[in-house]
Structure 1
Amino acid sequence: MDSPFGRLPELPFVIPFGVLILALLLWRLRARGRFSVARAAVALALAVYAAGIAANTVFPIYLRLPETDEPWTPGLALQPFHDYEVVDAVTNVIVFLPAGILLALVLARPVWWNVAIAIVAASLSIELIQLAMQALFHAGHIADVNDVIFNVVGGLAGYGILRLLMLSRWCARIIDLFHWSDPVTVAGTP
């Protein structure tokens, strides 16, 4: 049955997006001579993760609104911690845990501030895309500064979990198989 709002389906957009991300990541691995099955698995995980984030943050997109006397105004929340529910904060933290782990594996210098910069950039991009989709297509998400804050918290928590795992030499050796740059040092030892 057709939606009265003309809702765009997610899959025809997010599947090619995920495939494009995967292709770019695999190309990057090959170009740097760092290709391995473990690193390709990280590329696949990051591509699927990015497609899932796009599907859940950009969509739904509606081509038309129901008849109403109220004008459509895009939602934008710029006041931190105002009218923001705890469940939304926890959800954003949990959803961005994998981002901190995956980005730390792909970045050339996986220090916390590089991971934080990448997560801030990704999160701001999501919020700006949400705002643009609202203005252009009546999308169903509000661009919210709180989302950026809790996405960064989640991403840094994921990075912290990875770093804690790397304190164990055994875990560090396994993690290094998946890491895209040179082996990472464990607690100051090569």
Structure 2
Amino acid sequence: MKFVEVPMLPIVIPFGIVIFLVLMRVLRSRGRVTLPRASVAAVLAIYAGGVLANTVFPIFLRVGTGFYDGPRPLALYLVPFVDYGLEDALINVAVFVPLGMLVPLLTARPSWWKVVAIVAGASLLIELTQMATARLALGGHLADINDWLTNILGGIIGYGLFVLLMRSTKVAGFAQRFQWPVRERAGSSPA
């Protein structure tokens, strides 16, 4: 049985571009397009592409039929903190710290629960994608409850750092140019 690796860049680059275009459309619909806010969209698109590249790939397809239909165990680990190394935990925390810092820039009134919900949802989507690619196409990663939990921890740490940095009036004033508040109401001036 022969397998071929699915090329990563032809998938990751368009994915990042689509993310960027969607974010720019959101900005435009709100009448909030500025260079600092567009840079947040670009950073988030690059971040999303990088996370996709490093959490889902490599993926292998069987030559001739595509999907793999042979026997293998379900690629899902639901028991927390069993056979989970410190290095894996630290990497998963570190990967989601930036998301915890970016989410507050995109929301009108950031809060810890919004950040946790978005980070948990993004991480769950990654874990489900890993499970699907491992099952259907011999993906190189497995869905793991530990990854999900440490990703959420990373997002919380990122949000905590954001809140800490916003206590400085200089940093808060600078960061305000990058924030994406909701659409302005009629009669109010845009930021």
> Gaps (5+ residues) in structure 2?
64-69, 183-191
Measured after TM superposition, the shift of residue 5 of structure 1 is: 2.8
Counterpart CA distance in 2 for 1:135 and 1:89 is 24
* Structure 1 counterpart of 2:27, from 21, 26, 29: 29
Distance 2:88 2:108 in 1: 32
What CA distance in whole angstroms lies between the structure 2 residues aligned with 1:139 and 1:107?
Answer: 34
The CA deviation at 1:135 is 1.2
Which position in structure 2 is the counterpart of 1:50? 48
Unpaired segments of 5 or more residues in structure 1? 183-190
How far off its partner does 1:43 sit?
Answer: 0.2
CA distance in 2 between partners of 1:80 and 1:47 (Å): 31
Deviations 1:94-145 (A, max 9, x none): 1111000111111233111000000000000000011111111010101000
Answering whether residue 120 of structure 2 is matched by residue 120 of structure 1, we say yes
Give the residue type in structure 2 aligned to 1:7. E
What is the TM-score when the length of structure 2 is the normalising length?
0.88
Instruction: Quote the residue 1:11 is aligned against.
Output: 9
Amino acid at match of 1:154: G
How many matched pairs? 175
Q: Secondary structure at the match of 1:179?
A: coil
CA RMSD of aligned residues (A): 1.4
The answer on whether the counterparts of 1:93 and 1:151 sit within 8 Å (CA) in structure 2 is yes
* TM-superposed deviation, 1:74: 3.4
Deviations 1:21-71 (A, max 9, x none): 000000000000111100000000000000000011111000139xxxx93
**Residue number in structure 2 paired with 1:153:** 153
Note the C-alpha offset of 1:13. Answer: 0.2
Length-normalised TM-score, structure 1: 0.89
Tell me the equivalent position of 2:170.
170
Identity of aligned residues (%): 49
Match of 2:135 in 1: 135
Q: Secondary structure at the match of 2:177?
A: helix
Would you say the 8 A contact 1:74–1:138 is kept in 2?
no
Which of 29, 52, 59 aligns to 1:61? It is 59
- Whether contact under 8 Å (1:60, 1:140) holds in the other structure is yes
